[in-house]
Amino acid sequence: MSIDRRNFLKTLGVAGMTLTVGKGFGSANKDGDQTEFNALLFDATMCIGCQSCEKACAKAHGLPEPEEIELDVIKKTSETRRGVINYHTTSKDDVYVRNQCMHCNEPACAAACLTQAMYKTKEGPVIWREDKCMGCRYCMVSCPFDVPKFEYHSANPKILKCDMCHDRIIQGEIPACAEGCGDALIYGTRRELIAEARKRIAAEPELYYPEIYGEDVAGGTGLLYLSPVPFEELGFNTKLQNTSYPELSKGFLYTVPSVFVLLPPLLLAIHEATKSNQPKEEDHE
Amino acid sequence: MNKSAIAIEKDIDQKSIWQFLKEELKPKGKWLTPFNIISIPIMLLGLVLIVIRFVYGIGSITNLTQEVPWGLWIGFDVVTGVAFAGGAYVVTFMVYILKMHKYHSIVRVTVLNGFLAYVFYAGALLLDLGKPWNVVNPIIGNSFGTSSVLFLVAWHFLLYMLAQLIEFSPAVAEWIGSRRARKILSAMTIGAVIFGITLSTLHQSGLGALYLMAKDKIHPLWYSEFIPILFLVSSIFAGLSMVIFEGSISHKVFFRQISEKNHKAQKGILTGLAKICAGAMFAYFFLQMLVFIHNKRWDLLDTPMGYWYLLEMIGFVLIPMFMYIHSYRTSNIFLVRFASIVTMVGIIINRLNVTVIGFRWDAAVQYYPSWMEIVVTLAVIFTEIWIFRWVINRMPVLSDSPAWVKEEK
């Protein structure tokens, strides 16, 4: 369903552009084969805060060694940190939770990107492509999770965020973080992981909060969470909408082709009508 | 018909076009005017800051954060500046489509203003891009992000600048004295106007639509799915208020260029524009109230942001609307001008509320523009005014077209 909607949006955009520029490039974007999105499942009941995932990530991407977890300091992903482990004191117990890019099914950042530098791959990861990016930071404005980070102190800045180790995935390997972790962070297809998460909740209802964060939020994400406590307690924004964010600007984009078809003839008609009334005063310049 | 026009026409016959251009590039008039004394240091300082920005990155002169990636340069220079440039599409619509000949004398100056605004604000946009050399990607190449509102806005900026250039080009042809070019370019005007109005309706609203996906980041009093239509309607009176404001200054500064006839017509033009502004502002206020009531936001009114919202709606929409109504009823030109300034302040407040003040209003670290961002913004505005003045002093924009144009008709 999500793929269909995405394609529809693209097709419409291309149609709009065709009307606008009078140039067809309809051949673009037909992900014919329906591969399943890959995803990660983080189970907060299992995480012991060992930071193996952070270390593996830093090693895989040539980033500096991660700092230790400190009490009462909520770390955020940054220009040098693609994923972080944070520690929360909650109503049930102390809980460690991992924060990183959610890899939405319909990412706001990719819909926002005017050069397709932010791109939802057919494998599932949302990746950033340097050669296309112009550094406008509209992805950062649009991302409901505030994930993309920008190098403000560089003359040739990059956008940084987790890419779910896309280069490893297409070679058949699994993301570095999931490899580094024991069982708190597992990798698989999104469908399998949701089934697994449901199974865990059903098996131990007293251990789990009965919800999978990421199943519905923002139209579904590629990072799924299980938690022993309500997700607000882990610093999650639970007020985010459950429909996808690109939906929000869809209505506007839909009106563009119509305006482009309807307005010029109308203006021309008014122009002609007002002209015939005063044939002598006609003066364009 | 003034003397300089005759002189230019004679010159052209004798000298080559290059000699003519070379002479025209030289400054005219006094150097040490108050405006120059203020603007030159700021422009030079701005230039230094721009160099620093390109060597050490955007963060070296701006206060932008990871949570607030768009600040003054987008919120004021681009979003507010384009709203003020909306006068061009409204006035061309009135004159070329509706044939309101009364406003013919302000078309050229308005289009020039609009064109320069777009050139400079799009230029300011380049300063804000991390990788400005990739700016061509959405235009040429195979990187079309067609699902992006920004893609649409980028294309429309480019095409609209082209349309405005065509609309203005007959003045350039008259300046260099090319009859043939003038004839060809004039014939293209109506096409450019129709195209330009269509583009304007879409990108004026598109600038608002940019923020639709930032649903959870903008204060609910300023976020609604109607941002695009609110931006479009407000661009009508924002643009016309700018026309009133700019026209009032131009009539003083460039007094000698304006013919007796056009001086006398100015009063009628200003009160006419005041009427249109009042109408558009009524529609806008009505829309804002519908959005407010529809979204049931009464509980938010009794908060600091709520008072700020009320101030914007009453102090900077409703009150200037009544000022406009009163001014055209009593033909009070002073009040028209005053109302235009209040309206413009209101537009600045509104656009900044959506893009900067209300954006992440709840963030732990608030964004305030650095003094350097403000200096660069001022430098951009001053450079634009310099170019504007240069063009006005040379081309028949405020002054009448040379005599041969009338003969051709």
Q: Do B130 and A284 touch (CB under 8 A)?
A: no
Q: Tell me which chain A residue has its CA closest to the CA of residue B228.
A: A252
CATH number of B47-400: 1.20.1630.10
Predicted-complex ipTM score: 0.88
Interface of B with A in 57-76 (CB under 8 A): 57-60, 62, 64, 66-67, 69-70
Tell me the pLDDT tens digit for each residue of A244-278: 999 999 999 999 999 999 999 999 999 999 875 55
Taking the C-alpha atoms of residue A173 and residue B14, their distance in angstroms, rounded to an integer, is 77
The type of residue at B199 is L
Say yes or no: B358 contacts chain A, CB-CB below 8 A: no
Q: Which residues of B touch A144 (CB under 8 A)?
A: 213, 215-216
- Name the residue type at position A107: P
Residue in chain A lying closest to B94 (CA)? A271
Residue B186: which of A117, A133, A284 has the nearest Cβ?
A: A284
Contact B68, B83 (CB under 8 A): no
Q: Which residues of A touch B55 (CB under 8 A)?
A: 155
Q: Are B170 and B182 in contact (CB under 8 A)?
A: yes
Query: How far apart are the C-alpha atoms of B338 and B404, rounded to whole Å?
Result: 39
Residue A137 with chain B: CB contacts under 8 Å: 69-70, 130
Tokens representing B225 are 């799915």
Residue A224, φ and ψ in degrees, nearest 5: -115, 145
- Residues B231 and B83 sit within 8 Å (Cβ to Cβ): yes
Which residues in chain A are contacts of B209 at CB distance < 8 A? 249, 252-253
User: Which residue in chain A is spatially nearest to B138 when comparing CA positions?
Assistant: A115
Domain boundaries, chain B: 47-400
- String of b and e for A223-262 (b: at least 16 CB within 10 Å)? bbbbbbbebebbebeeebeeebbbbbbbebbebbbebbee
- DSSP state for residue A63 in the 8-state scheme: P
Cβ atoms of B238 and B202 closer than 8 Å? no
How many other C-beta atoms can be found within 10 angstroms of the C-beta atom of residue B34? 7
Residues in chain A closer than 8 A to B211 (CB atoms): 141
CB-side neighbour CA atoms (13 Å) of A207: 13
Rounded distance between C-alpha atoms, residue B30 and residue B149, angstroms: 46
From B93, which residue of chain A is nearest by alpha-carbon distance?
A: A267
A54, two tokens: 């952070």
Q: Does B211 touch chain A (CB under 8 A)?
A: yes
Distance from C-alpha of A198 to C-alpha of B276, rounded to nearest angstrom = 61
**Cross-chain CB nearest to B145 (options A115, A146, A270):** A115
Task: Work out the percent of chain A whose per-residue pLDDT is above 70.
Answer: 84
CB contact under 8 A, A133 and B131: yes
> How far apart (Å, rounded) are the C-alpha atoms in residues A58 and A81?
7
B180 lies within 8 A of chain A by CB: no
Q: Does B26 touch chain A (CB under 8 A)?
A: no
Contact flag B202-A138 (C-beta cutoff 8 Å): no
Q: Of B111, B205, B207, B173, which Cα lies nearest the Cα of B402?
A: B173
- Measure A144 CA to nearest chain B CA, in Å: 7
Contact by Cβ (8 Å): A180, A189: no
CA proximity to A181, closest of A119, A73, A100, A70: A100
Q: Kindly report the number of other CB atoms within 10 A of residue B29's CB atom.
A: 8
Q: Do A249 and B201 touch (CB under 8 A)?
A: no
Q: What is the DSSP letter of A37?
A: P
B143 interfaces chain A, CB cutoff of 8 Å: yes
Q: What is the amino acid identity at position B22?
A: K
The pLDDT value given to residue A11: 52
Rg (C-alpha) for chain B, rounded Å, is 22
Chain A CA closest to residue B133: A134
Chain A residue nearest residue B355, CA to CA: A141
Strand-pair category, A149-150 with A159-160: antiparallel
CA distance B237 to chain A (A): 20
CA distances from residue A167 to A63, A176, B49 in whole angstroms, order as listed: 17, 11, 39
Interface test with B, best of A149, A247, A252 (most B CBs within 10 A): A252
Cross-chain residue pair B214–A141, CB shorter than 8 Å: yes
Question: Taking CB atoms and an 8 Å cutoff, what residues of chain B touch A119?
Answer: none
- B364 and A CB contact within 8 Å: no
**In chain B, which residue's Cα lies nearest the Cα of A277?**
B99
- Rounded Cα–Cα distance for residues B256 and B252 (Å): 9
CB contact under 8 A, B98 and A270: yes
Count of beta carbons in the 10 Å neighbourhood of residue B90: 25
CB burial of A61-80 (b: ≥16 within 10 Å; e: otherwise) equals eebeebeebeeeeebebebe
State which amino acid sits at residue A222. G
pLDDT number for residue B176:
84
Residues of A in contact with B204 (CB under 8 A): none
Q: How far apart are CA B107 and CA B85, in angstroms?
A: 13
Beta-bridge mates of residue A89 = A94
Q: A-chain residues within 8 Å CB-CB of B132?
A: 134-135
Dist CA B5 CA B334 (whole Å):
32
Burial B393-407 (b: 16+ CB within 10 A, else e): bbbbbbbbbbeebee
Query: Checking DSSP bridges between strand A94-99 and strand A84-89, what pairing results, if any?
Result: antiparallel
- Tokens 């405020």 — which residue? B398
Selected residue of B52, B63, B66 to mutate for chain A interface (largest A Cβ count, 10 A): B66
Instruction: Extract long-range pairs of B228-232: CB within 8 Å, 24+ residues apart.
Output: B228/A252, B229/B205, B229/B287, B230/B284, B230/B287, B230/B288, B230/B291, B231/B83, B231/B204, B231/B205, B231/B207, B232/B201, B232/B204, B232/B205, B232/B208
Find chain A residues with C-beta within 8 A of B205's C-beta. 252
Structure-token pair, residue B171: 């003045």
Split chain B (409 residues) into runs of 10 and give each run's mean pLDDT.
49 65 74 85 94 93 92 93 94 94 92 93 87 87 84 91 93 87 90 94 93 93 93 96 92 83 87 95 95 88 92 95 94 94 96 92 86 95 92 88 75
Domain boundaries A34-241, CATH class: alpha beta
Cβ of A152 within 8 Å of Cβ of B58? The answer is yes
Please identify every stretch of chain A with a pLDDT value under 70, giving residue numbers as ranges.
1-34, 276-285
CB atoms A268 and B216 under 8 Å: no
Task: Quote the CA–CA distance of B63 and B368 in Å, as a whole number.
Answer: 7
Q: Is-contact B114 B85, C-beta < 8 A?
A: yes
Q: How far apart are CA B303 and CA B309, in angstroms?
A: 10
Rounded to 10 degrees, the C-alpha dihedral B162/B168/B173/B176 comes to -100
Contact pairs from chain A to chain B, CB under 8 Å: 196
Nearest to A246 among B135, B147, B205 (CB): B147
